[in-house]
Amino acid sequence: MDVLKEQIRTGNDREVAALVRRYLEEGRDPETILKQAMIPAMDEVGDLFQRGEYFLPEMLIAARAMKEGLQVLKPRLVQAGVEPAGRVVLGTVQGDMHDIGKNLVAMTLEGAGFEVIDLGIDVPAERFVEAVRAHRPLAMGLSALLTSTMLQMKATVEALGRAGLREGTRVLVGGAPVTQAFAREIGADFYGPDPTAGKQYLQGLAR
């Protein structure tokens, strides 16, 4: 399993998919592969990024390798009835086309065993509300990269409140212009300066 961890950490996507396939053929338990190798590898990547030892390219490459491995593993996890750590509705708010950070958040959460309902970019408040109503997630995650569109986060939190869904849904916000103070001001529950912080917050909720 250490080999798989190392290959994810260094972003060797082909080798990751091949190793997962081989472990499954050898009869190893899919949940063990996920929880003892793959998730810890991504935790390590998140820690390295937070400490400034990994930069964006290394993190993206590792996340891509994780995704390849997950694709092989997913059908077997479903077969084995492994429950996701929790469900998260995620998107970039209306008017905003930036999705690199949001995609990293999605990959990080999936890497930690969360089910991510990714609504994409330029997502109007009403679509977030509809998705929350339909999927009843643990949390709604909003990303914004523009000082103009970050105001749309407030509108989205308010729309959730008007729909009567605010109480059962934690709101996580992030993106370059977003701050802790802004998150508090708009009534969000948590500001994630990076994907790992967001993941750790959600893991705390799911426990």
Binding site for ligand B1M (CB under 6 A): 56, 95-102, 104-105, 141-143, 145-147, 172-177, 192, 194-195, 198
Q: What is the DSSP letter of 189?
A: S
Nearest approach in angstroms of CB 99 to ligand B1M is 4
- Asked if 113 and 203 touch (Cβ cutoff 8 Å), the reply is no
Nearest approach in angstroms of CB 6 to ligand B1M is 23
Strand partners, 57: none
> 30 or 192, CB closer to ligand B1M?
192
> 56 or 134, CB closer to ligand B1M?
56
> 71 or 147, CB closer to ligand B1M?
147
> 37 or 160, CB closer to ligand B1M?
160
* Neighbour-count burial for 167-199, b at 16+ CB within 10 Å, e otherwise: eebbbbbbbeebeeebbeebebbbbbebbbbbb
Nearest approach in angstroms of CB 136 to ligand B1M is 18
Residue with tokens 């849904």: 169
- Asked if 89 and 128 touch (Cβ cutoff 8 Å), the reply is yes
Nearest approach in angstroms of CB 200 to ligand B1M is 11
Nearest approach in angstroms of CB 172 to ligand B1M is 4
> 102 or 166, CB closer to ligand B1M?
102
Nearest approach in angstroms of CB 36 to ligand B1M is 26
21-30: list long-range contacts, CB under 8 Å, 24+ apart: 21/72, 24/72, 24/73, 24/76, 29/80, 30/73, 30/76, 30/77, 30/79, 30/80, 30/82
Q: What is the DSSP letter of 140?
A: E
> 72 or 145, CB closer to ligand B1M?
145
Q: Which residue has the CB atom at the shortest distance from ligand B1M?
A: 101
